[in-house]
Chains A and B, each alone.
Chain A
Amino acid sequence: MRRQLPILIVFVSGVFMVIQYFIPHESFEFIYEYAMDWIIIIGIFAMLLGLWSLTRASVSKVQAKAPGWGFSVMTLVGLATMLFLGFYKGNKSIAEGTFFMDLFWYIYTPIQATMFSLLAFYIASAAYRSFRVRTVLATILLVTALIIMLRLIPLGPISGVNQWLASWILTVPNMAAKRAIWIGVGLGATATALKIIFGIERAYMGKD
């Protein structure tokens, strides 16, 4: 029964969600909206689980003085500080000029932007390593990448030709390839969903 019940719940909910897509009547709409509200509620409670997991992992690293335990101390301090400041003034914490928002704007935001900026350097090193004319396909990849990159650069008389070519690449072969991948992804996603609904794929449920 412990195995059958979750499979039954998955089957009933899965079939219902498929059917409700085709039934516009408001009685089905009501059940769908009710289910969506529950997803939000479960998500919020799951956040508590996540907080517990992160705290436990960080504390055990600090206690065991595992390599990099200093980072775990920073994690716990940051977590506690933001939680406290957020709850301290409630809704007003996010008003302009509060310490909470100062930490957000002057510590969190620059760190986020810095991490995102790493992409500029990593793109250069990844392009340097991988754009080699090893095979015909690699050459086509390289030439296409160059045309797309060059559309941002003023090239004088050949700018117009390059812009047209780049536009054509984006709107014709790029679109064709994306559509082909999407069709495959759509069918794969449907098959995976069917396998889960019919209980064929049960790895996510764990075992007793």
Chain B
Amino acid sequence: MKKTKAVLFSILIILFFFNLSFPQENLSPPPPTEVRASDTQNDNGHSITITWKLSGDDGAGKKNVVAYEILRSELPTGEFVVRGMVPAGNNTYQDRGAKEKEDKNYFPPHKDFYYKVRAKTLNSYSESEVAGPAQAYGEWFHLGKLPVFVGTLAFTIMVLAFISLARKGKEFYVRPLAGIDAVDDAIGRATEMGRPILYILGLGSAADIATIASFTILNRIAKKTAEHKTKIIVPCNDPIVMSVAQETVKAGYLDAGRPDMYKEENIFYLTSMQFAYVAAVNGIMLREQTATNFYLGKFYAESLILAETGSVAGSIQISGTDEIAQIPFFVAATDFTLIGEELYAASAYLGREPLLLGALKAQDLAKAIVMISLASGAVAASFHLDFFLRLFTVQM
């Protein structure tokens, strides 16, 4: 018995000294440090951003950190729950939640939260100090969009300034546009041939700028057709567009002093389906043998089908769209094309109203400023002048 106890005691002594000579490896990685929790900038007030300095074993040292867990509590000494995880190498996390109170992931604004970051290896972890309190709140101005705000404000001031100049009687020169110059001839041709005019507003909704620009052109063309006593057909792809088109054409006829000639049934809704609409319009073109076709608005794949069918029908065709992909088809298949912003400028050209021409000149000045900025930006980027580039950086 005494001998057994002595052997066991000897083994324990040997193991003790063995341990002192070869200490157990500490498996926990160094914890993340400098943890900061703050309101996420430029958001609606339901998010806090947490940043930290990477653990010493992340990408360095033992290189065994695999991920970071972010924990949150309402009290510094309360129960912390895991809010999310990011892979190693990342030192930022956005703790986001829902804005609806009924949602189980609701993130209340103006409430204190405390955070810890846990560096994890495959079989251990270590936690940072508690950071906080931090509160989420919504900002009243998105600082990341400041360049857009400044640009919009500057452009608005330019437009109003040029309109004011136009009101005072200043005359503005605008370069001729072949498509616009051809409108009168095109309407005259339809009148001489005794055939109607077809006006297509495109496949956009009433909220699309191209469709709105097309309405203003339709108004002026309707006035001219009323003066010439020529029928105008306006088949529409959208019911709201149809309602606005009816009012627009009616206003044109009223302006021309021919309200009795206005026929509501000439401006009608067909269908919202793209190719069904095109099939119907093609049928109208071929049956009515329209002399002049206007395609002004938003167009997609059907642009070439419309233009080629119009060509088969022998119509003179004037087109305009801001859909860049369709411009080549219109250029190839129609007689005159308004490219991009020329569509928006068309109403100013047709009416020659000083106010509208003033807005057009403001666009020209803005384009000049953009070109100078582009050239300056290219130079600044080449010489690494970051402060200049940051002036134009937008963060969404």
Check if A181 is an interface residue, CB within 8 A of chain B.
yes
B332 contacts which chain A residues (CB < 8 A)? 126-127, 129-131
> In the complex, what distance in Å separates the CA atom of A111 from the CA atom of B273?
12
The answer to whether A183 and B367 touch (CB under 8 A), given A46-B240, A188-B345, is yes
> In the complex, what distance in Å separates the CA atom of A194 from the CA atom of B161?
13
> In the complex, what distance in Å separates the CA atom of A82 from the CA atom of B385?
63
Are B344 and A50 neighbours in the complex by a CB distance under 8 Å?
no
Are B44 and A26 neighbours in the complex by a CB distance under 8 Å?
yes
Binds B, one of A16-24, A89-97, A154-162, A163-171: A16-24
- Those 5 A-B pairs whose CB atoms lie nearest each other, nearest first: A206-B247, A50-B239, A188-B341, A188-B344, A203-B219
A60 contacts which chain B residues (CB < 8 A)? 265
The answer to whether A194 and B359 touch (CB under 8 A), given A49-B242, A126-B307, is yes
Chain B interface residues toward A at CB < 8 A: 42-46, 99, 138-142, 145, 148-149, 152, 155-156, 159-160, 163, 207, 209, 212-213, 215-216, 218-220, 236, 238-240, 242-244, 246-248, 250-251, 254-255, 265, 268-273, 275-276, 278-279, 283, 287, 301-302, 304-305, 307-308, 322, 324, 327, 329, 331-333, 339-341, 343-345, 347, 355-356, 359-360, 362-363, 366-367, 370
Q: How far is the CB of B371 from chain A (nearest CB, A)?
A: 9
Are A24 and B283 neighbours in the complex by a CB distance under 8 Å?
no
Are A181 and B340 neighbours in the complex by a CB distance under 8 Å?
yes
Main SS at interface, chain B: helix
A126 contacts which chain B residues (CB < 8 A)? 304, 307-308, 329, 332-333
A21 contacts which chain B residues (CB < 8 A)? 145, 148
The answer to whether A196 and B212 touch (CB under 8 A), given A115-B305, A122-B308, is yes
Q: How far is the CB of B57 from chain A (nearest CB, A)?
A: 38
Are A184 and B159 neighbours in the complex by a CB distance under 8 Å?
no
Are B140 and A25 neighbours in the complex by a CB distance under 8 Å?
yes
Q: Which residue of B lies closest to A205 (CB)?
A: B247
Are A195 and B359 neighbours in the complex by a CB distance under 8 Å?
yes
Are A22 and B242 neighbours in the complex by a CB distance under 8 Å?
no
Check if A81 is an interface residue, CB within 8 A of chain B.
no
> In the complex, what distance in Å separates the CA atom of A201 from the CA atom of B340?
19
B307 contacts which chain A residues (CB < 8 A)? 126
The answer to whether A207 and B250 touch (CB under 8 A), given A42-B240, A194-B159, is yes
Known: A67-B287, A189-B341, A198-B160. 8 other contacts (CB 8 A): A24-B138, A24-B139, A46-B243, A50-B242, A129-B333, A182-B324, A182-B340, A184-B341
> In the complex, what distance in Å separates the CA atom of A18 from the CA atom of B236?
29
Are A192 and B209 neighbours in the complex by a CB distance under 8 Å?
yes
The answer to whether A204 and B212 touch (CB under 8 A), given A23-B141, A54-B268, is yes
> In the complex, what distance in Å separates the CA atom of A184 from the CA atom of B222?
27
Are A206 and B44 neighbours in the complex by a CB distance under 8 Å?
no
B340 contacts which chain A residues (CB < 8 A)? 181-182, 184-185, 188
